[in-house]
Structure 1
């Protein structure tokens, strides 16, 4: 039975003037054409981008806007590094998965036996991720969990930024909701994950709440080989990069905002 409020992928393909402006923005990878296209954009757009099908909502989420208009600017070095690292039976954990861009881009390239665990606490973004996942057929296994990863187990406060949903998180100003939370070690144990090839965490400055207890208590055998995090130079006491360095990780690429690290001796 058709869901008229959420029709199948393909029902919201770009058309008319917007389609022309969108095509120009994507060809030129230009912010100027992005701004022009934004004036005529609908609330949701169906498109194939970064190797997967998606329904993107560019008006309330900067990440979706970037993937729609200028996919070449969406973390290209991070995605390339992860793509190059893919192997059969690869295990990827995506904490703060948003609409799924990282996970879906990698899953589109991965073989059967590869495992992806995507974690998104915000109900609307988890719903969007689930829709995008259903629009694709991947050989790899992709599991989506609607919860938060933090330093505690139980219900915790989560704040939704309706202007840019990608800036929602465990701290901030906006609509407050309660979401279930697990420490990372507990999450992995409950899903029988005994190793991580790559871990991407994007949780709006709260990465230390996840990584500090995990790296202090979890056995090194389960530590991620590759770690991608945003560095927080203004708050060094909360900077996940400095934390990882103190635990023996090495910087592979400093990309300004994001940093790619790997465990010493694992490259």
Structure 2
């Protein structure tokens, strides 16, 4: 099993951090309870009304405690869309991706979550009893929040790595977009200060090969990549640097917004006959290896 070496026991306080507040310290408002009751794990959670429910939910406190896939989760809905939609919709958010994931994962499987955000897919993989889960997130704020959620539950087989996956090693800085802490791009670390006059926070960038090998993975059943348009560069380098034994059997990829990026990604994975398309959703490509 893989357990995060960075995950502290419930009683341990990490340097510079306050003691973990007990679950339930951040209750939902009545309006949030109502929105969740109507949408959570219900068909309405994938309908048009969910945007209104999410808007209701985001007008509440900055932090709320709730459950997701049976786990205790500390949600931050006001500045993270994934938190908001996960809290409201549960499994009906990314429903098709989760259904495909569930059909693949098993206790003997391994799941690699690149761009883990608040841990939505990693927690679902744990609910599928997957015993090897690697969660990689570049934003240290999101990683700290995910570790906080993990500390609220019994130990889970999730190894957390706080870094960005890149083509080469180095440092970068994160540019959040759309007032959403879960959406941003990594760029090379500038030598000058940012426009706001503050020094950019260094984010370590590591090749995907190094991340996977350091985790001790010998095979990968399923890999999910959501790294804001960097999928092609990261996978191109990865496939050239590792043995085919480490090619994921299945991939969930965020569909690139730019047509050129989508064509490059499909040429790398599909035209080369390494993978075939198993499905498409509004935001994702579901791929399976042809040799599987």
Q: Aligned pairs, how many?
A: 262
Alignment partners' CA distance in 2, 1:219 and 1:246: 20
CA-based RMSD of the aligned residues comes to 2.5
| Corresponding position: 1:200 with 2:214 | no
Q: Is residue 111–residue 223 contact of structure 2 (8 Å, CA) maintained in 1?
A: yes
1:199-249, CA deviations, whole angstroms, 9 ceiling, x for partnerless residues?
Answer: 000011111121011112321111000101012263324543442113420
Shift of 1:64: 0.8
Alignment partners' CA distance in 2, 1:4 and 1:192: 32
3-state SS in 2 of match to 1:169: strand
Report the more deviating stretch, 84-93 or 153-162. 153-162
Alignment partners' CA distance in 2, 1:52 and 1:207: 29
* Equivalent of residue 117 in structure 1, options 127, 134, 138: 134
Shift of 1:186: 1.5
3-state SS in 1 of match to 2:85: helix
Q: Is residue 50–residue 71 contact of structure 1 (8 Å, CA) maintained in 2?
A: yes
- Superposed counterparts of 1:193-232, under 5 Å: 193-232=217-256
Alignment partners' CA distance in 1, 2:284 and 2:209: 23
* Equivalent of residue 94 in structure 1, options 113, 119, 122: 113
- Structure-2 change in CA distance of 1:7 and 1:36 (3 Å): same
| Corresponding position: 1:152 with 2:168 | yes
Higher relative contact order (CA 8 A, sep 6+): 2
1:117-138, CA deviations, whole angstroms, 9 ceiling, x for partnerless residues?
Answer: 0001101100111011122225
* Equivalent of residue 154 in structure 2, options 137, 162, 173: 137
3-state SS in 1 of match to 2:186: coil
2:278 maps to: 252
Alignment partners' CA distance in 2, 1:150 and 1:132: 26
Q: Is residue 35–residue 88 contact of structure 2 (8 Å, CA) maintained in 1?
A: no
Shift of 1:171: 4.6
1:262 maps to: 288
3-state SS in 2 of match to 1:149: strand
